[in-house]
Structure 1
């Protein structure tokens, strides 16, 4: 294994519109010791031909083709061909800043980090947004030990559950497969990685572009989205076994996810016609009320939401609607959100840059 080589694994499926931008950002990286593994996951469009063409032009590129098996299966397949000392995952509709890999590798060497994550942009077709609630572009990198990194992962604020945007030592993840057949596969995987990390470094400068497609979660919502809850439940068991001091924080995140998905199921009642999934969520919250009450003891807002939901879910929904109305009428302060760092004049700018 070449310790200086960075292997970039890119699962590809139905992204013909975006794939050039992604691959071009990889081959134009300032760090040249790359092994770019493009996994065509049975894409029905022209992605297969596109990756073959790139492989013919750049010897660093491996174009792999397999039957469609989903994102997890494609990542697992790509990992079989990794020979670099480091691994990075990139989603095929996203792209990197030119010096991203160089900066992550340098940071790993200088600070002897097992894992390096950079901040990122939420990249829309007409705007570029940065999360200044959790990152500060001008600040030094944050250095975390194992317990600090796991806490931040559970909170999902600074350290994200996403597999992408991070530089991993390959030996640390080589035997950790992604769970197949689920959405939000990273939630089932990330905590197992962090368990092996002695030092995590967070570069607060945004170096990764996380592309936001125009379809909203409400319009594309399906029962498969409930895999998020199952992933958090699985992680909860892991936390209980290895990090019991983080149990309350883990229950908080699980409660938030239950409340969000209950309301999404209400909005999409046709996808849960008999209300079975809503009853399942309500029953779980009621059955674990003691744990949730303990978890939200110091969070007044979430405590209030839990009380209202247990009284009746519709009261909780009315409360959220009322709060949103107050914000729109400016009677209530608008929560601090994402900073707009660039506004694009046309959709073509983001597709072709």
Structure 2
């Protein structure tokens, strides 16, 4: 008998995308699923669309709640999970027809606690696949706990995303997402990964991760700084439990600080008195000795010293590197592009 998979889909203001998402779940080659649709107080027609699916397919369960954000919606949905495995899908994404079957089979074959699939960045007319580390036909990679935590902290082969991964339900049931923050996965993933003994990476892209046209500069708000706060909170966990990863953790914090300082400068009207930029500067100044050690043998060393002299020097340096990449004077990583007919 097939093990049961619970698919949790939080829903908010996605009526344009919701049908494609839910159809992709219901049309899976793996039949023993339950689909938990959580309408997080969406003001559009998402609630009606969700109810339609619950009437058409007995595997769909719909719950309506007041708006509380993505974390709150996922936590709410987890109360009703009855499956052996859990899969989170964002309601503007969609999945390949064989995704759940592939993940469950892989989990059983390798006796894994969790399995992740690769994904496509999905644009209107084309897809992008990140082939810098693996090709789509490579064999699965099996990670033990220490290797997994390293990959999570580096954030390249194992992303912080909660979606696109099949988890054994008993591993995550009592680990709620932190409410009231953006980038909630950063606050959650390390607590999950600490419990995992065997983790498998599949390189076949089975998720279509929708890329909307909104510019990050135009939509940026200081709430985006939640990601830095999340990484710093995770860093405290790393210092306590995985001391060998402290420098890698600092590197990601530095890169993220530089990115958000640049975005704040590009959105001066949202940080008129420089409060948030000063918050970043204070963190870097207060932790400069440790940060300096962390980047000693990395390309971040120059940027850190330039930032210490004046943040604008770091931004100018990053801008020059970006221009050089664009005109291909320096080597850049080109993602594999698949045109859609």
Q: Does 1:258 pair with 2:241?
A: no
Matches for 1:157-196 after TM superposition, within 5 Å? 157-196=156-195
Matches for 1:59-138 after TM superposition, within 5 Å? 59-138=58-137
Quick one: which of 341, 344, 349 aligns to 2:340?
344
Q: Is the 8 A contact 2:21 2:94 kept in 1?
A: yes
Per-residue CA deviations over 1:163-196 (Å, capped at 9, x if unaligned) read 0000000000000000000000000000000000
- Secondary structure of the 1:4 match is coil
Q: Does 1:33 pair with 2:32?
A: yes
1:323 CA drift (Å): 2.0
- Secondary structure of the 2:258 match is helix
Equivalence for 1:348: none
Equivalence for 1:149: 148
Q: Is the 8 A contact 2:2 2:32 kept in 1?
A: no
- Secondary structure of the 1:208 match is strand
Quick one: which of 292, 306, 320 aligns to 1:322?
320
Q: Is the 8 A contact 1:3 1:85 kept in 2?
A: no
Per-residue CA deviations over 1:56-98 (Å, capped at 9, x if unaligned) read 0000000111111000000000000000000000000000000
Equivalence for 1:333: 330
Distance 2:229 2:17 in 1: 31
- Secondary structure of the 1:286 match is helix
Tell me whether 275-284 or 80-89 shows the greater mean CA deviation: 275-284
Distance 1:328 1:175 in 2: 46
Distance 2:322 2:63 in 1: 47
- Secondary structure of the 2:3 match is strand
Distance 2:227 2:75 in 1: 20
Q: Is the 8 A contact 1:15 1:93 kept in 2?
A: yes
Equivalence for 2:218: 219
Distance 2:334 2:161 in 1: 20
Equivalence for 1:5: 4
Q: Is the 8 A contact 1:162 1:186 kept in 2?
A: yes
1:3 CA drift (Å): 7.8
Q: Name structure 1 gaps, 5 residues minimum.
A: 346-353
Distance 2:225 2:82 in 1: 35
1:15 CA drift (Å): 0.2
Q: Is the 8 A contact 1:263 1:317 kept in 2?
A: yes
- Secondary structure of the 2:313 match is helix
- Secondary structure of the 1:305 match is helix
Distance 1:5 1:329 in 2: 51
Q: Does 1:231 pair with 2:230?
A: yes
Distance 1:273 1:192 in 2: 36
Q: How many residues align?
A: 341
- Secondary structure of the 2:4 match is strand
Q: Is the 8 A contact 2:122 2:209 kept in 1?
A: yes
Distance 2:327 2:48 in 1: 52
1:326 CA drift (Å): 2.6
RMSD value, Cα: 1.1
Matches for 1:283-322 after TM superposition, within 5 Å? 283-299=282-298, 301-322=299-320
Distance 1:285 1:3 in 2: 51
Distance 1:83 1:324 in 2: 48
Distance 2:59 2:66 in 1: 23
TM-score of the superposition, structure 1-length normalised? Answer: 0.95
Per-residue CA deviations over 1:318-353 (Å, capped at 9, x if unaligned) read 1122222333344x2241131102x235xxxxxxxx
Equivalence for 1:54: 53
Distance 1:174 1:227 in 2: 24
- Secondary structure of the 2:34 match is strand
